[in-house]
Structure 1
Amino acid sequence: MNNVFDKYKKIKDFLVCVDSDGCAMDTMEIKHRECFGPEMIKTWNLFEKEEEILNLWFDLNLYTQTRGINRFKGLAETFKIISKQGVEIEDLESILNWVDTTNELSNNSLKREIEKTDSKGLKMTLEWSLNVNKAIENLPKGDEAFEGVSEGLEELSKIVDVAVVSSANGEALNDEWGRHDYIKFLTALLGQEAGTKQHCIAELKKKGYDTNKVLMVGDAPGDLQAAQKNDVRYYPILVGKEKFSWDRLVNEAVPKLMGGTFDEEYQNKLIKEFNDSLK
Structure 2
Amino acid sequence: MTSDDYLVAFDSDGCVFDNMEFKHKACFVPSFIDFFGLQDLPLQAREIWEFVNLYSTTRGINRFRGLKLSLDLARARFAGEGVGAERTSTIPPSPDLDSWIAGARHLSNASLEEEIGRSGSEELKNVLAWSLDVNRRLLEGSPQPFPLAARAVARAREGARVRVVSQAPGNALRRDWGAHGLLDLTEGIFSQEDGTKEDHLRCLLQQTPLPGDRVLLAGDAPGDLAAATATGVLFFPVIPGAEEGSWEEFLHEGLPRFFRGAFAGGYARELHRRFEEALPATPPWEG
| TM-score normalised by the chain length of structure 1 | 0.92
2:10 is aligned with 1:18: yes
Residue aligning to 2:117: 115
Residue aligning to 2:41: 49
Question: How many Å separate the matches in 2 of 1:88 and 1:198?
Answer: 36
Residue pair 1:91, 1:119 contacting (<8 A) in 2 also: no
Question: How many Å separate the matches in 1 of 2:134 and 2:103?
Answer: 23
Q: How far has the Cα of 1:117 moved from its partner?
A: 1.0
- The percentage of counterpart residues that share the same residue type is 34
Structure 2 unmatched ranges of 5 or more: 80-87, 281-287
Residues 61-91 of structure 1 deviation map (CA, whole Å, 9 limit, x = unaligned): 1111111111000100011122233253335
Structure 1 residues 262 and 110, CA gap change in structure 2 (3 angstroms):
same
Question: How many Å separate the matches in 2 of 1:47 and 1:98?
Answer: 26
Residue pair 2:60, 2:220 contacting (<8 A) in 1 also: yes
Residues 84-136 of structure 1 deviation map (CA, whole Å, 9 limit, x = unaligned): 33253335111111112211010000001111111111111000000100110
Question: How many Å separate the matches in 1 of 2:215 and 2:188?
Answer: 14
Residues 191-234 of structure 1 deviation map (CA, whole Å, 9 limit, x = unaligned): 11122110111111112222221111100001001101101111
Which structure 2 residues correspond to residues 184-223 of structure 1 after superposition, within 5 A? 184-206=184-206, 207-223=208-224
Residue aligning to 1:277: 278
Which structure 2 residues correspond to residues 89-238 of structure 1 after superposition, within 5 A? 89-139=91-141, 141=142, 144-206=144-206, 207-238=208-239
Q: How far has the Cα of 1:167 moved from its partner?
A: 0.2
**Counterpart AA for 1:36:** F
Residue pair 1:216, 1:232 contacting (<8 A) in 2 also: yes
Question: How many Å separate the matches in 2 of 1:251 and 1:266?
Answer: 14
Question: How many Å separate the matches in 2 of 1:239 and 1:253?
Answer: 17
**Counterpart AA for 1:122:** L
- Please tell me the root mean square deviation across aligned C-alpha atoms, in Å: 1.4
Residue pair 2:170, 2:192 contacting (<8 A) in 1 also: yes
Larger mean Cα displacement after TM superposition, 213-222 or 149-158: 149-158
Structure 1 residues 87 and 15, CA gap change in structure 2 (3 angstroms):
farther
Larger mean Cα displacement after TM superposition, 123-132 or 234-243: 234-243
Residue aligning to 2:83: none
Structure 1 unmatched ranges of 5 or more: 1-9
Q: How far has the Cα of 1:22 moved from its partner?
A: 0.4
Residue pair 1:21, 1:168 contacting (<8 A) in 2 also: yes
Q: How far has the Cα of 1:257 moved from its partner?
A: 1.7
Residues 141-165 of structure 1 deviation map (CA, whole Å, 9 limit, x = unaligned): 26x1112012111111111111110
Structure 1 residues 256 and 135, CA gap change in structure 2 (3 angstroms):
same
Residue aligning to 1:3: none
Residue aligning to 1:31: 23
Residue pair 1:107, 1:126 contacting (<8 A) in 2 also: yes
**Counterpart AA for 2:39:** F
**Counterpart AA for 1:93:** P
Residue pair 1:147, 1:242 contacting (<8 A) in 2 also: no
Give the alignment partner of residue 32 of structure 2, picking from 25, 34, 40. Answer: 40
**Counterpart AA for 1:66:** T
Residue pair 1:24, 1:146 contacting (<8 A) in 2 also: yes
Which structure 2 residues correspond to residues 222-261 of structure 1 after superposition, within 5 A? 222-261=223-262
Residue aligning to 2:82: none
**Counterpart AA for 1:22:** G
Larger mean Cα displacement after TM superposition, 121-130 or 244-253: 244-253
Structure 1 residues 24 and 191, CA gap change in structure 2 (3 angstroms):
same
Question: How many Å separate the matches in 2 of 1:266 and 1:11?
Answer: 23
Question: How many Å separate the matches in 2 of 1:120 and 1:236?
Answer: 40
Structure 1 residues 239 and 90, CA gap change in structure 2 (3 angstroms):
closer
Residue aligning to 1:61: 53
